[in-house]
Amino acid sequence: MTGEITLDLVAGTDAALLEALAVREAVFIREQGIDPEVEIDDYDGICWHAIAYLDRRPVGTARLVLVDRFTAKIGRVAVLPEARGRGIATRLVRLVEEYAGREGVTRAILDSQIDVMPLYEKLGYVAEGEPFLDAGIVHKRMTRSL
């Protein structure tokens, strides 16, 4: 895959949600072994999903949940193995941050898997609190002002 990367932001009820879920299934369920009952939750139908396409094929996703008027939670950031190393995760996070900022959100939070924390640190996120288990994987809460 050497083609153009495009991004889209869709509501949780949009048909593109199926594309986002397919990427998450490949990364979180099949690659990382997360239980599908844990991976797919009630937020998926009410949040925003960013989807990255490479040559019009969905290869990455992230979601944005508005926690309150000023706080948004970014999560479920996933990129297919064959598309990694192209800056797709960074572009997805920036897209949902930009949308959140336009909506008046001033603070973004996320729960990062420990081995992915350097990516989020480069994007300005700061770790807070103690590590915790989520879906059997060690995570740490990170925050950033928007």
In the structure encoding, which two tokens stand for residue 17, read together?
Answer: 């949600």
Please give the average per-residue pLDDT across 57-82, as a whole number.
Answer: 97
Assign residue 112 the CATH number of its domain.
3.40.630.30
Window from 14-18, 28-32, 39-43, 128-132 with minimum mean pLDDT: 14-18
Range of the domain at 81: 5-145
Residue 143 has pLDDT above 70, yes or no: yes
Task: Using pLDDT thresholds of 50, 70 and 90, give the confidence band for residue 1.
Answer: low
Comparing CA positions, the residue from 80, 48, 50 lying closest to residue 62 is 50
Q: How many domains does the chain have?
A: 1
Q: Give the pLDDT score at 15.
A: 80
The pTM is what?
A: 0.94
Q: Give the pLDDT score at 3.
A: 85
In the structure encoding, which two tokens stand for residue 82, read together?
Answer: 């064959």
Please give the average per-residue pLDDT across 79-93, as a whole number.
Answer: 97
